[in-house]
Amino acid sequence: MNNKKQSEKNKSLCSGCDACCQYIATEIDKPTTPEEIQNIYWFLLHKNVGVYIGFNNKWYLEFLAPCKKLKNKLCSDYDNRPDVCRDYKQTTCPKYLKSPTEKKYFHNEKEFFSFVKKKMSRKLWITLVDAKKI
């Protein structure tokens, strides 16, 4: 299928859905030190910010910020959209996937600290508690 036909097919598949246009996410390092945990805590104190662990075990910082080109649930400049948009696959879209798109999502610091306490090293947790960092 040529690029133009694939582009039109994708546009049709996306009709009425703007889920991937509502946020940006960037990879961050997995927190392994008290300072890195404090950074994630700080991120999660802000509105419209989340942190998640992908199924690839990579960590991401997400900002809920709609694209400025979004108009009526469609890209107003679809033919000139950036490569990151062109490369997005509907097979990873929540609309079609019908299952979580991440392994673990932290909406707030409480969820994150609960995870740190249960899943990360006991030594790291004790260091945070002793240093009164949490």
Please write the tens of the pLDDT for every residue from 94-128. 777 777 889 999 999 999 989 988 887 677 766 76
Tell me the mean pLDDT in the region 58-77.
93
- In the chain, how many domains are there? 1
CA 59 to chain centroid = 9
Kindly report the pTM of this predicted structure.
0.80
Cβ-Cβ contacts under 8 Å for 42 (sequence gap 6 or more): none
Most confident of 58-62, 118-122, 129-133: 58-62
Domain that holds residue 33: 3-130
